[in-house]
Structure 1
Amino acid sequence: MMGFAKNPWDFRGVVYDVGLRFTPESCSVDSLDTALVAYDMGVIANILHEVYRGLEKAGM
């Protein structure tokens, strides 16, 4: 079980925005493109993860 963080920067993760539009008429996307979500999750899981690991190895 996750405990409380001492400060907000103690958490790691990704916030994924599915393209919500906040207008007087609507506060959501017309239709969720699951193929696009799958592609984006692949980028996050693979490419961005490798970038992070490279930065971590470099001490950044």
Structure 2
Amino acid sequence: EVYTQGHMIELESLGPLTELEPGESVDLIEYWTLLKGEVPEDDNGIETFFAPHTQRVEVNEE
């Protein structure tokens, strides 16, 4: 989820909703990168800007 106001941005990562038994846990691993440059305003420009910096991560659902 993303929230912006003025010069502030708040990003909240949401993992999949998972039922846990007592004593169980889950992990959510994030990797962050700051990119320098002007972000285009249209969807195609945004996709072109970010494409070289993204990769698809395969999820192993056991």
Range of TM-score over shorter length: under 0.3
TM-score w.r.t. the length of structure 2 is 0.28
More helix by share: 1
More strand by share: 2
